[in-house]
Amino acid sequence: MTNVIEQLGVRAILRIQEMGRMLLFVLSACAWLVRPPFRFHQIMKQLHFIGYKSVFVVVLTAGFTGMVLALQGYYSLRKFGSEGLLGSAVALSMIRELGPVLAALMVTARAGSAMTAEIGIMRITEQIDALDTMAINPMQYLIAPKLVAGVIGVPLLVAIFDVVGIYGGSLVGVDLLGVSEGAYWNSIESAVEWKDIYGGILKSISFGLIISWICCYKGFYTRQSAEGLGSATTEAVVLSSVLILVWDYFLTSVLL
């Protein structure tokens, strides 16, 4: 019995240590971000990787999400004779919830996992140590630009996701199911408020930070083996995805 309690205690301490290390990691990266030299080229490179290269998968996901929302929404609303509200149902779902969450999950799967693998390989092959020996801080050169790119890139992708999703909904609702085009777009205009958009932006900024933070951290502290790198990548994707969903709940409860 004492052993079990001891084991639980050890695990709890290790978890707390890990959380502390994660917090110090992101604080250190933020501190290095505001110190010269400023690495705009690195930020642009990461923005291209996280943002531009994720556009295709985000557009694809957004299009089909909007289409299926319109399909489901149409048959539910028709029971109450409120098909005209389809546009607002699709737009609000997209802007408030599905846009930020699904775009963030897609970025985690595409760019987050690659970030962990890239940094992990750099750790295993001593490329991070090489940066240190050249008196170049890896936090400043490697991690800080990825954090900035996440915070800028994810909101831009979410904006694309929202627009494509709403057009996807229009394609099914208006063009296939025959909802009036005017009713679809008017209901969006009257239902969507600025606070919905602000809320979506706030969520996407925090999701961008979560993805870059967790994925960089897991890569940076990966164990020195192929197996270690594999588990680091899996842990990064799982932890980022779970944190996105948990944080989404808390943020939504505050924003509503």
Residues that bind another protein (CB under 8 A): 37, 121-122, 125-127, 129-130, 132-137, 141
In whole angstroms, how close is the CB of 36 to another protein at the nearest point? 10
- 85 close to 185: Cβ distance less than 8 angstroms: no
In whole angstroms, how close is the CB of 128 to another protein at the nearest point? 9
Residue 224 CA to its chain's centroid (Å): 27
- 59 close to 167: Cβ distance less than 8 angstroms: no
User: Exposed, middle or buried by CB within 10 Å (0-12, 13-18, 19+), for 62?
Assistant: buried
Q: What single letter denotes the amino acid at residue 162?
A: D
Q: What single letter denotes the amino acid at residue 26?
A: V
Q: Could you tell me how many residues make up the chain?
A: 256
Nearer of residues 127 and 180 to another protein, judged by Cβ: 127
In 3D space, the residue among 151, 168, 154, 158 whose CA is nearest the CA of residue 99 turns out to be: 158
In whole angstroms, how close is the CB of 106 to another protein at the nearest point? 24
Nearer of residues 125 and 225 to another protein, judged by Cβ: 125
- 174 close to 184: Cβ distance less than 8 angstroms: yes
Nearer of residues 72 and 127 to another protein, judged by Cβ: 127
Nearer of residues 82 and 137 to another protein, judged by Cβ: 137
In whole angstroms, how close is the CB of 42 to another protein at the nearest point? 10
In whole angstroms, how close is the CB of 246 to another protein at the nearest point? 33
Nearer of residues 46 and 54 to another protein, judged by Cβ: 46
Using DSSP's 3-state secondary structure scheme, residue 134 falls into coil
Nearer of residues 134 and 254 to another protein, judged by Cβ: 134
Rounded distance between C-alpha atoms, residue 57 and residue 72, angstroms: 22
In whole angstroms, how close is the CB of 162 to another protein at the nearest point? 33
Between the CA atoms of 226, 112, 164 and 254, what dihedral angle is there, to the nearest 10 degrees? 140
